């Protein structure tokens, strides 16, 4: 019984470390949110960069419930003005991917926020 009492703090510490590692893994690699934007090329900034990313957008995005968030992301080229994009966003890494979608694919709450019919 005494042996168990001595090992209990070590076991609890190991469990806490494992839970922290799982949480960090979730935040860094798993947790993703989807946002929707409409491209506005008046909100683009040309940046000097050593990689291929030459343009940065700073736009208002909406989640599927219409909750608003300002999002910045970089691209290799100017995107089509007025295009609708679906962004895959991670809290820790920002925009990790995007794709152009049709207006019909926007959630109803997003259409309302964007004043789209």
Model confidence over 35-69: pLDDT tens digits? Answer: 999 999 998 888 876 678 889 999 999 999 999 99
Q: Does one domain contain both 41 and 7?
A: no
Q: Does one domain contain both 15 and 63?
A: no
Cα–Cα distance for residue pair 100/113, rounded to 1 Å:
18
Which residues form the domain of 4? 1-31
Q: Does one domain contain both 14 and 54?
A: no
Q: How many domains does the chain have?
A: 2
pLDDT averaged over the chain? 88
Strands 55-62 and 44-46: antiparallel
- The CATH number of the domain holding residue 80 is 2.40.50.480
Q: Does one domain contain both 50 and 106?
A: yes
Question: What would the mean pLDDT of 21-37 be, rounded to a whole number?
Answer: 83
Q: Does one domain contain both 25 and 36?
A: no
Higher per-residue confidence, 49 vs 3: 3
Q: Does one domain contain both 50 and 6?
A: no
């Amino acid at each position: 019984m005494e042996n168990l009492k001595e090992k209990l703090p070590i076991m609890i510490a190991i469990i806490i470390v494992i839970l922290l590692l799982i949480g960090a893994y979730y935040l860094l690699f798993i947790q993703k949110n989807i946002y929707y934007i409409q491209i506005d090329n008046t909100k683009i900034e040309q940046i000097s960069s050593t990689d291929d990313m030459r343009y940065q957008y700073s736009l208002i995005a909406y989640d599927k419930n219409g909750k608003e968030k300002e999002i910045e992301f970089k691209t290799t080229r100017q995107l089509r003005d007025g295009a609708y994009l679906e962004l895959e966003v991670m809290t820790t890494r920002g925009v990790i991917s995007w794709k152009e979608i049709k207006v019909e694919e926007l959630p109803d709450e997003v259409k309302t926020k964007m004043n789209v019919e």
